[in-house]
C-alpha cells in the first residue's frame, strides 16, 4: 500500500443563485477557488494540480471547458483534469483529487466543480434537444412511487424533507433558496410536477461553484485552520437500464456505502456518523438513500424523517446545509455535499453547524441512480475510533 493521509484544508463556494449574471464562467469558478485558497492561506503558485468537474457540457454550450478555464484557475504549466460522471461528478472529482494526494503524486491539489445553468438550458440538454423530455424528475418519480408503495411511507414524508432542507438553507448564506415561510401546507399545495413530486419537493436550477484544497499530512499540519481528514473514499457504478434492475435500492449504492464504511472503519453508520450530506434532489430520496446505503433498515428510512432524527438537532442530521433541494448547480452539487461534510467536521459550518460533528458522510449520485461517489471525513484521523 502506498497510501497516505489526505485532508481538506481549504473550502470555498460561491453564492448560489438562479442567475449569476455578475460573473462569467471562468469568473464563477475563480470566485470559489480563490475562497478555498484564502481559507487555506495559500497562493495560486502553491497548487500542484487542478481537477475540474461538471455535468454535461451541452448544459452551457462549452465543450471541454477545462481548456478555456485553465487560465482563470491558474493551471498553466500544471496538470489539469476534467471529470464527468453525471450527477455524481462533484463527488468523483473530489475523489480524483484526493487520490492524487493519497498516492503522493502531488502535495496540494485544487479541485473545483461548477454549473452555470442560466448560461444554457439544462432541460433542453436533458431532453437531447427533442420534444417531450422527461426531466430528471420524470425518470425518478416511478421509483419514488415504488418506494412509497413498498415501504408504506405516509405521503407527508416527502413534504417534511422539503420543509426541513429549506429551513436549514435559511441558516446557510450561500444557499440559493431562502424560503423562511416554507410550510408543509405550501409544499403540499405547490403544483405537481411529476406525480408524486410537487414543485417544492424538487431542486432549483442554480448557478454556482465550489472548490477545495486537498493536501497530505505534512501540509495539513501547516494549515492555518483545522483540517478535515479523509477517512474513506468509494466510487461505484452499475448499468442504468436492464430488465430486473432494482432502481429503488440500486446495488451500486449499497456497495459504495459498504466500501466507504469499511474504509473508514465504520461498523454502525447510524451511531458512528454525526452528520450526512446526501444528494437529495427530490425529497423522497432522503429516506430512499438512508435505506439504500444501509444507514436505516428496510422501511425505517422514512421513520427517521418522521421522528425528526434527520433534523439539524436530531441524532442523524441530513443536509444541514439545505442540500440539493436548496441549491443545485448540477456539476457542483455533489462536491458541495463533500465540502459541507468537511465544513461540519472542521466546525466551520457557521449557523448550520451541527453540534459535536466529528465524523461526516458525503454522497453524490448520478445518471439513472447508477453512479455513486462517497467519502467519510473526520475531525481527526481516529475520529471514528473515538466514536466507538
Partner 1 sequence: MTDTKQPDSKQDEAVDPNAPITGMDYFMKLEYHELICPVVREFADALMEKRLIGHKCPKCSLIYSPPRGYCPICTVQTTKADEIEMQTRGIVTNYTVVTPVQYYGQEETEPFAKVSLQLDGGGNLSLQDLPGVPVEQVRSGMRVEIVWAPDGERHVDDVTNRSWGSAEGAIRGWKPTGEPDADPSEYSDKVF
Partner 2 sequence: MVNDIAIVGYAQSPSWRASELTEPQFLFPVISEAIERAGVERREIGFTCAGSCDYLSGQTFAFVMNLEAVGAWPPISESHVEMDGAWALYEAWVRLQHGDIDTALVFGSGKSSPGKPAEIYPLQMDPYTLTPLGADPVSLAALQARAMLDAGKITEREMAEIAARSRKSAIGNPYAQVSGDDDPEALLKEPYVTAPLRRHDLPPISDGACAIVLATADKAKALSKRPVWIRGIDHRIDIHQPGMRDLTESPSTRLAGKKAGVGDAKVDVAELSATFSHQEKLLCEELGLGDDVEINPSGGALAANPVMAVGLARFAEAARQIAEHGKHRVVAHATSGQALQQNLVAVLEGD
Binding site for partner 2 (CB under 8 A): 1-3, 24-25, 56-71, 75-86, 92, 95-96, 99-100, 102-105, 125-126, 128, 234-240, 242, 251-252, 255-256, 259, 367-368, 370-371
The footprint of partner 1 on residues 243-272 (CB under 8 A) is: 243-248
| Cβ within 8 Å of residue 214, ≥6 positions away | 6, 7, 8, 9, 94, 97, 98, 100, 101, 108, 109, 111, 230
**Shortest separation between residue 240's beta carbon and partner 1, angstroms:** 9
| Cβ within 8 Å of residue 1, ≥6 positions away | none
What cell was used for 354?
451541527
195 contact choice in partner 1, partner 2, none (CB below 5 to 8 Å, kind-dependent): partner 1
Q: Which residues of 325-360 are buried (b: 16+ CB within 10 A; e: fewer)?
A: bbbbbbbbbbbbbbbbbbbbbbbebeebbbeebbbb
What cell was used for 384?
471514528
- Are 52 and 113 within 8 A, CB to CB? yes
Count, residues in the chain: 388
Binding to partner 1 by CB under 8 A, coded x per residue (else -) over 117-136, reads ---xx-xxx-xxxxxxxxx-
Compare residues 53 and 378 and give the one whose CB is closer to partner 2: 53
CA distance 259 to 303: 25
**Shortest separation between residue 64's beta carbon and partner 2, angstroms:** 5
What cell was used for 244?
430486473
189 near partner 1, judged by CB under 8 A = no
| Cβ within 8 Å of residue 350, ≥6 positions away | 171, 172, 173
What cell was used for 75?
493551471
CA distance 320 to 151: 25
155 near partner 1, judged by CB under 8 A = no
355 near partner 1, judged by CB under 8 A = no
Binding to partner 1 by CB under 8 A, coded x per residue (else -) over 14-43, reads -------x----------------------
115 contact choice in partner 2, partner 1, none (CB below 5 to 8 Å, kind-dependent): none
What cell was used for 371?
453512479
Where does 133-265 show beta strands of DSSP type E?
Answer: 192-194, 197-198, 207-216, 228-237
Query: If you search the block for the grid coordinates 441558516, which residue do you land on?
Result: 171
289 near partner 1, judged by CB under 8 A = no
Compare residues 120 and 347 and give the one whose CB is closer to partner 1: 120
141 contact choice in partner 1, partner 2, none (CB below 5 to 8 Å, kind-dependent): partner 1
SS (H, E, C) 243-311: CCCCCCCCHHHHHHHHHHHHHHCCCCHHHHCCEEECCCCECCHHHHHHHHCCCCCCCCHHHHHHCCCCC
**Shortest separation between residue 69's beta carbon and partner 1, angstroms:** 18
**Shortest separation between residue 39's beta carbon and partner 2, angstroms:** 24
Of 143, 284, 316, 375, the one binding partner 1 (CB under 8 A) is 143
260 contact choice in partner 2, partner 1, none (CB below 5 to 8 Å, kind-dependent): none
Piece of the chain touching partner 1 by CB under 8 A; list 40-48, 158-166, 235-243, 333-341: 235-243
**Shortest separation between residue 235's beta carbon and partner 2, angstroms:** 5
**Shortest separation between residue 201's beta carbon and partner 1, angstroms:** 13
**Shortest separation between residue 108's beta carbon and partner 2, angstroms:** 15
Compare residues 150 and 221 and give the one whose CB is closer to partner 1: 150
**Shortest separation between residue 138's beta carbon and partner 1, angstroms:** 5
CA distance 144 to 133: 19
145 near partner 1, judged by CB under 8 A = yes
25 contact choice in partner 2, partner 1, none (CB below 5 to 8 Å, kind-dependent): partner 2
Compare residues 143 and 289 and give the one whose CB is closer to partner 1: 143
For 56, phi then psi, to 5°, come to -50, 135
Contacting positions for partner 1 (CB under 8 A) = 21, 58, 61, 120-121, 123-125, 127-135, 137-139, 141-143, 145-146, 149-150, 191-195, 239, 241-248
Amino acid at each position: 500500500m502506498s497510501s497516505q493521509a489526505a485532508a481538506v484544508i481549504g473550502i470555498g463556494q460561491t453564492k448560489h443563485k438562479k442567475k449569476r449574471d455578475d460573473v462569467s464562467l471562468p469568473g464563477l469558478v475563480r470566485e470559489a477557488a480563490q475562497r478555498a485558497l484564502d481559507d487555506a492561506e495559500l497562493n495560486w503558485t502553491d497548487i500542484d494540480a487542478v481537477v475540474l468537474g461538471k455535468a454535461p457540457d451541452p448544459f452551457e454550450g462549452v465543450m471541454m471547458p477545462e481548456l478555456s478555464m485553465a487560465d482563470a484557475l491558474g493551471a498553466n504549466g500544471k496538470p489539469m483534469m476534467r471529470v464527468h460522471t453525471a450527477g455524481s461528478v462533484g463527488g468523483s472529482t473530489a475523489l480524483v483529487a484526493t487520490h492524487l494526494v493519497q498516492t503522493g503524486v502531488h502535495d496540494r491539489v485544487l479541485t473545483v466543480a461548477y454549473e452555470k445553468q442560466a448560461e444554457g438550458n439544462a432541460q433542453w440538454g436533458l431532453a437531447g434537444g427533442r420534444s417531450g423530455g422527461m426531466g430528471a424528475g420524470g425518470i425518478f418519480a416511478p421509483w419514488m412511487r415504488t418506494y412509497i408503495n413498498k415501504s408504506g411511507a405516509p405521503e407527508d414524508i416527502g413534504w417534511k424533507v422539503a420543509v426541513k432542507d429549506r429551513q436549514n438553507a435559511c441558516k446557510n448564506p450561500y444557499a440559493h433558496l431562502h424560503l423562511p415561510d416554507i410550510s408543509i401546507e405550501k409544499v403540499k399545495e405547490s403544483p405537481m410536477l411529476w406525480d408524486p413530486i410537487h414543485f417544492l419537493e424538487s431542486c432549483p436550477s442554480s448557478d454556482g461553484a465550489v472548490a477545495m484544497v486537498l493536501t497530505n499530512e505534512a501540509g495539513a499540519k501547516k494549515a492555518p485552520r483545522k483540517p478535515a481528514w479523509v477517512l474513506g473514499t468509494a466510487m461505484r457504478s452499475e448499468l442504468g437500464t436492464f430488465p430486473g434492475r432494482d432502481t429503488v435500492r440500486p446495488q451500486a449504492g449499497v456497495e459504495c456505502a459498504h466500501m466507504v464504511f469499511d474504509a473508514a472503519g465504520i461498523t454502525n453508520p447510524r451511531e458512528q456518523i454525526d452528520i450526512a450530506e446526501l444528494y437529495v434532489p427530490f425529497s423522497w430520496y432522503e429516506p430512499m438513500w438512508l435505506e439504500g446505503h444501509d444507514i436505516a433498515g428496510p422501511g425505517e428510512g422514512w421513520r427517521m424523517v418522521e421522528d425528526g432524527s434527520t433534523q439539524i438537532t436530531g441524532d442523524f442530521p441530513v443536509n444541514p446545509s439545505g442540500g440539493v433541494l436548496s441549491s443545485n448547480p448540477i456539476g457542483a452539487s455533489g462536491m458541495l455535499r463533500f465540502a459541507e461534510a468537511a465544513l461540519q467536521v472542521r466546525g466551520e459550518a457557521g449557523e448550520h453547524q451541527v453540534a459535536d460533528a466529528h465524523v461526516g458522510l458525503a454522497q453524490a449520485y448520478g445518471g439513472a441512480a447508477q453512479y455513486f461517489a462517497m467519502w467519510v471525513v473526520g475531525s481527526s484521523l481516529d475520529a471514528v475510533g473515538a466514536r466507538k
